[in-house]
Amino acid sequence: MKALKEPMTFVQGWRFLTIGALLYLWIAHEAKTGSYLLILLLLVLASLRWRFGRLPVWTAFADAAVCLAFVPFSDIGVYGLALPIFEFALKGKWAVSLLFFAGLLVPSLPSSLLFWLYVQAFLFGAFACTALGHQRDYKREADEQRKARQELERIRLELLEANRAVSRQAELMERHRISRQLHDHLGHDLTGASLALQAYEYVSDPAEARELLREVGNRLERSTTRLREAVHNMTPVTPIGADSLAYIARNFRHAGIADIRFRQSGDMQRVAPHMWELLEACLKEALTNIVRHSNASEAEVELQASETIVRLRIGDNGTVHPGDLSGSGIRGLQMRARALGGSLSRGWDNGFTLVCVLPLEQGGGIDETADSRR
């Protein structure tokens, strides 16, 4: 049924109806049997057009030639000129189309009827030309839009993947740096202390033994100092991981929500850095929405990390139903959550609830043998 609503259907219908009209003229006016050939030839051309969709524009000259060939034998040839008029108007060749109005010059026919027949053929052809042209343009534009959208989608996915690759790379580099630091500063001293203790067992002179013990003590003290320094150096000042979430939640208390409770459970180390970024964004977005749109007095933030997933739940006790608050912020976060293989969902049952679930990679953390440079 959808095919019936295309402009092309009406064009084909017009062609066959006109041939039907010519046939009716033939039947009603007792024309000679020979001129039935005219109608059949026009029918052949019309069915060629129907079968092949679009024929080149010069084929309309074939229609015209057939009609003109029969003009000496039958009036129907002159009526049949409406067909080439239509075809040329359909392809946008107005001048050639108007040329066939010369059929009006044939004296023996009711020229007023003929005139209006030609005019309606011309006008319908012109209208169909513009309609089909517009249809073509719309289709082309829709195709281009779709292509651009798919391109954008692809780039977005690549960015998310790059994000993940970068966080992997960063963690690997950090690990490498820490191992080097430990090796450089601590390994040296601890190995020396251990060797000195071993030597102590074989030394008989008490003075030398005391000397060795002091050596061990010195080295251990240096190691402890170095370790404390290294840890202190590596401990970030800015909160990361679960601490950052708690920090954010605490800060929002000043923004208008009376009480925000933060709870966490599970091994937070298993969560990858790029996931923390998403969880922070989710928390900020949810709390911003609560402050801006809801009348809640308290909110609750729950962070759980299990064997396979990490789950962040933000809920409030507000009663305002925001309707459809699917702002672009939430949509973007949903897209990112999906790109990481997780999900972000909202509910409005008891106040507003936002739940973000992300899957954790098995084996706990980064696999160093995995090729992250893909």
Partner 1 sequence: MTIFHFALKRSFGNRANLLFLTLFPIACIFLPSGEGWPFLPYGYQYFGIFILFASIRLAAIMLEDRAKGVVKRLAVAPVSHLRYISQNLLAYLCIMVVQCAVVVIGGLLYGQQLYQPAWLMLLYISFSAASLAVALAWISLYRNKEISFLVFMPIVFLVAILGGIMMPVDIFPEGLRRLAVVFPTYWLAKGLDWIAFGESIGPFLLVNGVLWLYAVVFVIMGSARKIE
Q: Which residues bind partner 1 (CB under 8 A)?
A: 23, 26-28, 30, 33-34, 36-37, 40-41, 43-44, 47-48, 50-51
The nearest distance, CB 26 to partner 1, in angstroms, is 8
Amino acid at site 239: P
The nearest distance, CB 39 to partner 1, in angstroms, is 9
Report the residue number, 37 or 227, with the smaller CB distance to partner 1.
37
Cα separation of 91 and 57, whole Å? 7
The nearest distance, CB 17 to partner 1, in angstroms, is 15
Structural contact between residues 109 and 75, judged by C-beta atoms closer than 8 angstroms: yes
Report the residue number, 3 or 258, with the smaller CB distance to partner 1.
3
DSSP H helix total and E strand total for the chain: 12, 5
Structural contact between residues 346 and 329, judged by C-beta atoms closer than 8 angstroms: no
What 3-state class would DSSP assign to 298?
strand
The nearest distance, CB 121 to partner 1, in angstroms, is 22
Report the residue number, 42 or 301, with the smaller CB distance to partner 1.
42
Report the residue number, 23 or 335, with the smaller CB distance to partner 1.
23
- Other CB atoms closer than 10 Å to residue 278's CB: what's the count? 22
| Residues counted in the chain | 374
Structural contact between residues 351 and 318, judged by C-beta atoms closer than 8 angstroms: yes
The nearest distance, CB 46 to partner 1, in angstroms, is 9
Cα separation of 321 and 325, whole Å? 9
Report the residue number, 3 or 237, with the smaller CB distance to partner 1.
3
Q: Give the CA radius of gyration of the chain.
A: 42
Report the residue number, 4 or 231, with the smaller CB distance to partner 1.
4
The nearest distance, CB 118 to partner 1, in angstroms, is 26
Structural contact between residues 54 and 24, judged by C-beta atoms closer than 8 angstroms: no
Report the residue number, 31 or 248, with the smaller CB distance to partner 1.
31
The nearest distance, CB 38 to partner 1, in angstroms, is 11
Structural contact between residues 12 and 43, judged by C-beta atoms closer than 8 angstroms: no
Residues 6+ apart with CB under 8 A from 272: 164, 167, 168, 171, 360, 361, 365, 366
Cα separation of 19 and 73, whole Å? 18
